[in-house]
Structure formats: structure tokens, C-alpha cells
Amino acid sequence: MKRVVSLVALLLLLVGTLSAGGAGEQSAQKEMVVLKLGIWPEETMTGDIELHKEYVKRFQQKYPNVKVVPQHYKYSVDTFVPLAESGQLPTIFETWFTEPQKLIAGGFVKDVTDELVQLGWIDKMNPSVRQLLSDENGRVYGVPRDAYALGLMLNVALFREAGLVDANGLPKYPKTWQELAETAKIIKEKTGQAGMVILAKDNAGGWHFTNIAWSFGARFEVQKDGKWIAQIDTPEVKAALQFVRDLKWKYDVLTPDPTSEDWGTGFRGIGTGTAAMYLAAQDAVNQPTMTYGLPVEDLALVPVPAGPGGQYSLMGGTPYMFAANATKDEVLAALGYLEIMGKAPVLTDDVIEGLRADAANRKANGVPVIPTFPAWTDPEYLKVQDEILAEYRNVDMRLYQDYYDVIKKPGVLRPEEPMLAQDLYAELTKLLQAVLTDENADIDTLLARAQKNFQSLLDAQVNNK
């Protein structure tokens, strides 16, 4: 008897285990288009959620046949592939500016060229941003949320404390890298806080360093006879690396350990007043202010300093992308939602309303309301956008104007190096770590090794194809 009971119990257990996995929800209504909104704000952002609830209300009036499913998704490398491979990705989601090429190559995202053509958006996209979101055949896989161009972010309070302000109270910021070293030194001496944040923890370190090295005249990749050639072991890169080394060992103006600084900790330094200067873009002004509580009037964004090789600003875009299994209708619904949000390059009432709501929300959260860096090039659209942003302006534009003036100069903006950018950054980060942790690191040997390493990657993955 005992045995029979145990047998039955076991069978029940097995059946239970097996069936648990199979019961899935099936959407009954076929004619309804389901829009899974991965760009829904996370739970803690209550203000943003209210904003989106309003968006949804207006969206539903326009698209009654679309069922909106709020599904906050924060892109992260450890959850992305399982979601994508199992077809569970939200219809539309936001990712990082480093990811589009990787996602396109992996077949994780949908080609939305036809939909963009249908809506007439395609030609209004900033060409360099469009290139970032396209495959080698020119098919487009994403829509820019915004574009960015690096500048130098300042904690104005520290400048004030160090006496580095003019009669109007505006910071006397450095125009060249040499001036930056001297300014940083004064700040360190007067306030005890770090003058400059140099990142050296992950690839963001190499990413920032390319911008520094460009202004010393470096060009990291060139194409010769159809082959890509690495140019790391050059006098220009050497000069830039020497400069970073001097910031640490000669001027001693960096944070205690640059090898533990990544993109986010840099903003913490600026936001909490433990560092005065940091390479950062206009799309991240919410980081030191909203996230780390810096008052808006203490933040400034100025141009990247110039070097002996010129003045450059690294640019790119932050994209929205779409699940590979999204249907045409779903993509169109998602794009319609972007229109409601004011992220579309068209001038409907919805867009204007969306832009207005976004600016108001920024103002309410203590985020500087400053001009965007145009991901869309339609002049009419940009004009209206600027007007709306000006209405909600909560900062002294003199703290930002030079930045916008400089990035409008021809030749200043520069996209990432075209081939294997992440691998290049990885090699450069290693260089930074070497010179920042060892005062006597032999730069020549390091550069020669990095050159050899990166060339071997180019040969294996690009030249060999």
C-alpha cells in the first residue's frame, strides 16, 4: 500500500512539474495590436510615470485598436539575449549608444526602414546618427532618442570656492588641455577636491581617451588599400597618454583611483562636489543634478579643451530599438507613441504637447532644461523644439552657450572610430590603467604592445572578412 501511495505521489509530482512550464497566456483578441512599451519609466520615477500615463491617454484616443502594455525594461547585457531569443522583448526599448551595431549583427532587432520611409522620418535623421543605427546595406534599425556630443562638465561651486570665476560669477574654464591641468591644480590646492575625473575602469575610459587624443592630433584607424590599419603607436597618442600620466603624477589632480571610475561615478564626483571637471555630454545633465542632487545653477557644460592637434567633440546617439519579432503594425504603433512623446521629427499638436510635457517634467525634477543636440535635422522641428525649451529654461544659458557654439563649428564633431570601437577602447583603457597605476610605466613599450594587439584584432575580425 505504502508503495502504491508513493508511486502515485511521485507521478503527481512529475505531472505537476511538467505542466507548470506549459501553461502560457495566449492573447485572445487577434485584431488588437499589442504595444509592449519597454520605455516605460521605472517604478521610482513617479513623476515620469504620471507623464507617461498622460501620453497613453492621448495615444489611446488616436489609436483605439492598440493595447498599451507598460513594461519597464532597462537594457542590460545579462537579460537582453534571453529575452530576445525567447521573443519576450518589449516592442520598443531603449539601449546604449555602444550597442546598436552589436544588436544589428546579432539579429536581435527589427529593420524599421520601411516604416520610417512610410512616415517620412528617414531623411530627417541626422546622417551620422543614422549611420550609427544602420547595417552595411543602409537599412535602419532604430530611432534616435537624442544625440550627444562630449563637452566638459563643471561643478561651478568648486570653481567659485577656488576663486576661478569672473566678475559675473561665471567659471573661468580651461580652453586648452594645458590650461585644464593648471586649473585643476588650483582647484585641488584651494578646495582639496579632485580637479578632473579621468575614467579608467572599463571601456568608457578608452572612449573618453579617444576624444583627448584626437585633440593631440591622433587618428586611431586608417584604411589603406582596403585594409584597416591601427595607429596607436604614434607620437600623438604618446603625447596624449603622457598628458594623462602628468595629470596623475605631475599635477596630482585626479580622483584617488581612476581605475575604479566609470561613466556613472564621474557624475557622482561632479554631483557631490568631489571633482570639478569631467568629460560628459549634454544628454546626461540629469545625472549630477537629479541623481546626485547638484543644484542646477552649480552645473555648467563647456567645450572640450583644444590641444595641439585641434578641438574635437566625440558624438553619437542614444537609440530606441525594436524587438526582432515586432510586426509592422506594432512598430508603427511604437513610432506613434514616440510622436506623442515629442520624439518624432514632425510638427503635430501631439509632438508639441509631448515636447512641452517633457520640458516641464525636467524643470520640475531640477534637471537643466537646455537645448538638445539634434538627432533630427528638420529645421522647422528644431525651431519649435528650441522655442519650447526656452520657455521652460531654468538655467543661465551663459553656463552652456560656449559649448553649443563650439559644436556648431565645422569639423569639431567627430563620430567614434569606425572599426571595432569597443576593442579599441579596451586596449586604450589598459594603457590608461598602466600609466595611472605606475609612475614609471614605459609608455613606448605599452604603446607598441597595444598597437600589435589592436592590429591583430583588426586583421582577424575586419581585414580577414
Partner 1 sequence: MGTLQRGISGTGRGRVSPWDAAGWLLMLPTVVLFAFFVWEPLLESIRLSLYSAKGVRLQEFVGFKNYVDVVRHPDFWAAVRNTFLYTFWSLVIGFMVPIVMAVSINEMFAFRSFYKIGVYLPNVVPGMATVLLWAFLFRPGETGALNILLGKLGYPPQPWLSNPQWTIPLIVATLTWKSAGATTLIYIAGLQGIPSELYEASIIDGAGIWARVRHITIPQIFNLARTLLILQIIFVFQILYEPLVMTNGGPNNASVSLMLLVFRYAFEKYDYPKAGAVSVIISLILVFLTWLYFKLVKEQDTQGA
The residues that touch partner 1, with contacts defined as CB under 8 A, are 2-3, 6-7, 10-11, 13-14, 17, 77-78, 80-81, 84-85, 102, 105-108, 200-202, 255-257, 259-260, 422, 426-427, 429-431, 433-434, 436-438, 446, 449, 452-454, 456-457, 460-461
Query: Cα 221–141–26 angle (5° rounding)?
Result: 140
Are the CB atoms for 171 and 164 separated by under 8 Å?
yes
Choose among 396, 318, 380, 386: nearest CA to 356. Answer: 386
CB nearer partner 1, residue 258 or residue 307 = 258
Q: Closer to partner 1 at the Cβ: 327 or 437?
A: 437
Q: Cβ of residue 133: shortest distance to partner 1, in angstroms? A: 17
CB nearer to partner 1: pick between 105 and 364: 105
CB 229 within 8 A of CB 221: yes
Residue 206 CB, nearest approach to partner 1 (Å)? 12
CA atoms within 13 A on the CB side of 34: 15
Burial class (CB in 10 A: 0-12, 13-18, 19+), 132: buried
- What's the closest the beta carbon of residue 7 comes to partner 1, in angstroms? 6
Residue 306 is classified by DSSP as B
Which uninterrupted H or E stretch holds 227? strand 227-230
CB of 419 to partner 1, least distance (A): 15
User: With contact defined as beta carbons under 8 Å apart, do 108 and 75 qualify?
Assistant: no
Least CB distance to partner 1 at residue 196 (A) = 15
Return the number of the residue (2 or 224) whose C-beta is nearest partner 1. Answer: 2
Give whole-number Cα distances, 117 to 57, 113, 332, 378, 438, in Å.
Answer: 27, 6, 11, 15, 54
106 vs 309, which CB is nearer to partner 1?
A: 106
Indicate the residue among 285 and 421 with the shorter CB distance to partner 1: 421
Question: Minimal distance in Å, beta carbon 322 to partner 1?
Answer: 16
* Helix (H), strand (E) at residue 266: helix 263-272
Enter the C-alpha cell of residue 184.
585643476
Question: Beta strands 194-197 and 275-281: pairing type?
Answer: parallel
Q: Quote the CA–CA distance of 399 and 154 in Å, as a whole number.
A: 9
Rg (CA), the chain: 25
Best CA proximity match to 303, nearest among 149, 165, 148: 149
Q: Which is nearer to partner 1, 57 or 139 (CB)?
A: 139
Least Å distance between CB 200 and partner 1?
7
Work out how close the CB of 337 gets to partner 1 at its nearest, in angstroms, rounded to a whole number: 26
Q: How far is the CB of 431 from partner 1 (least distance, A)?
A: 8
d(CA 174, CA 119): 45
User: Which residue, 329 or 423, is less far from partner 1 as judged by CB?
Assistant: 423
d(CA 364, CA 358): 10
- Please identify, using beta-carbon distances, which residue of 17 and 27 lies nearer to partner 1: 17
Cβ 85 to partner 1 shortest distance, Å: 5
CA dihedral of 432, 434, 436, 438, whole degrees rounded to 10? -160
Is 200 or 334 the residue whose CB approaches partner 1 more closely?
200
